Amino acid sequence: MPHNSNSIYVDCAKWDATEKFSARFLVLIQMYKDTFGVESIPEDGQIWTLCGSQFRQGKEIFGELAHLLSENMIQQCQYFGIDRELSIIERNKKIWPGANWIHGDFLEMMENAVMDGNFNPSIINYDGVMQPINSSVYLKKILNLIDYNVSGELMLVANYVLTNPYLCNSERLKFTVHDILSELNKVYLMPKHWTVYPKSFAYKHSRANMGIIVFIKEKHEKIDIVANYTVGHQAT
C-alpha cells in the first residue's frame, strides 16, 4: 500500500506526544503566565492556532485545546483553531462544539477576522512545519498583520523545523534557532513594540528537530523600527 502522508496527518498525528505536551506547557502556558503575570488570557482575548487534529483514529486525544482548558488558560469560545484539512475541522467541531474551528490558510483566515472585526488575539501560535528560509517570509506577513491591526499586548509563538527528517544528512538543510532570526532579519524590520524572548526552545518530534522562538508584543499606537535583534541561549 503506498504511503499516504495526508492520512497520517489527519488520523495518526502525535499532537498528544510527550514532547509536544512539554513544549506546549513551557511555551504556550507557563511562559504566557510568567510574562504577563496572569493565570489566563483576558476575558475578551483569543488564541489563534494551527490546530491539527484533536483526535486519533476517530477518538479524542489530550490535544492542545484540552491541555489549555485543563490549565484554565482559556474558555472554549476563546479558541480559534485553523487547519487546511477540512476533515480535521469537521471532526474537531464534533468533539469540541464550543470552540471556533476554521478551514483554510492560517494567515488568510486571520485576515478575514480582521475584516469582520473579530480579531483580538492574546496568543498566536504559528505551529509551522517549514524550515527557516521559507517560513520566515510567511511569519513576516503574520507580524505585519499584527503590527497594523492589534494594538494590545500578545504573545506570538513561532515553531520551525530545524532539520529535515527526510534529508537529515544534508548540512545545507540543517539550521539552529539563531538561523531563524537571521532569516527573519532579511525580510522584516522589527518595530520597538516587539521583544524576542531571550530563551529559545528546541525539541524532537517524530524524526524532526524543532525550534521555537517567542515574540512578546507590548501595547502600541505608532510603529518604531528596531534595526536588528538577537536571541539568547537555547533551552532543550
Domains in the chain: boundaries: 5-235
| Residue 199, SS3 per DSSP | coil
| Residue with the three cell numbers 500578545 | 154
Whole-number Å distance between alpha carbons of 187 and 48:
23
Whole-number Å distance between alpha carbons of 10 and 79:
20
Angle at 126 between CA 119 and CA 187, to 5 degrees: 95
Q: Classify residue 130 by its DSSP letter.
A: S
Query: What pLDDT was estimated at residue 2?
Result: 41
Query: What pLDDT was estimated at residue 22?
Result: 87
Q: What is the pTM of this model?
A: 0.86
List C-alpha distances in Å: 100 to 93, 94, 165.
8, 11, 32
Cβ burial of 173 (10 Å; 0-12, 13-18, 19+) is middle
Q: Which residues in the chain land under pLDDT 50? A: 1-4, 168, 170-171, 233-236
Q: Say if residues 209 and 163 touch (Cβ distance below 8 Å).
A: yes
Backbone angles phi, psi at 33, to 5 degrees: -60, -45
Query: What pLDDT was estimated at residue 96?
Result: 96
Query: What pLDDT was estimated at residue 201?
Result: 79
Architecture of domain 5-235: 3-Layer(aba) Sandwich (3.40)
